[in-house]
Amino acid sequence: MLIQETNSHDLRIAMLPYTSALKLVDMYIDTIEEELFTYKSQNPIEHVKSRLKRPSSIARKLEKRGYEPTLENALKYIDDIAGVRIVCQFQDDIYKVAEVIKNFQNIRIVQIKDYIKEPKENGYRSYHMHVEIPVRMLHGEEMVKVEIQLRTVAMDFWASLEHKIRYKNESDVPEHISKELKLCATMVEQMDDQMQHLNNEIEQLD
């Protein structure tokens, strides 16, 4: 059955494991923040945002990949129905937090996509972790897919505005705007590098 034709009750049931998985990831991140602050008196995480992908977005992504926009295909082929975005202060913090996440026994790493070291063609930079979380439901335990994105504040600012600009225009974004966005991405990368350099110098003064 097409996602748009799935009744709200069945859709809520299908999303329950993803909702539970997000709660678990949020709990893990709270633990990371508390431990880093306790042991190192610092918290590299600026803020965290969790979300379930909207049915319309899921359907659009399936169609873009050449799949029929059904609930069954969504559960099989979409890895980011449940998503968590961790925004860090500095670029090095992203890799520190990612390493801690990798060491959680209950989180299975499926795939890493490092768009910081290898940005997308449009200039997008972020660190993506595709993971699976064991979730206990009434019918038993199941592994649930979650995408964890880690960005700096600057990366998140650029990505949010780029997304808004592209979704306002359903057709292709004009070439000159794409070039301007990529130029802005380069400026964001330079700013992140400079802020990281300044932070490293300050830490050496302590």
The catalytic residue positions are 147
Around 206, how many Cα atoms within 13 Å sit in the side-chain half-sphere? 5
Contact 37, 43 (CB under 8 A): yes
Ramachandran region of residue 32, left (φ > 0), alpha (ψ -120 to 50) or beta?
alpha
Q: Answer positive or negative: Cα dihedral of 176, 178, 183, 184.
A: positive
- Burial (CB count <10 Å: 0-12, 13-18, 19+), residue 99: exposed
Q: Who contacts 2 (Cβ-Cβ below 8 Å, separation ≥6)? A: 59, 68, 69, 70
Cα separation, 85 vs 67, in Å, equals 26
Contact 143, 108 (CB under 8 A): yes
Give me the DSSP letters along 107-131.
-EEEEEEETTTS--TT----EEEEE
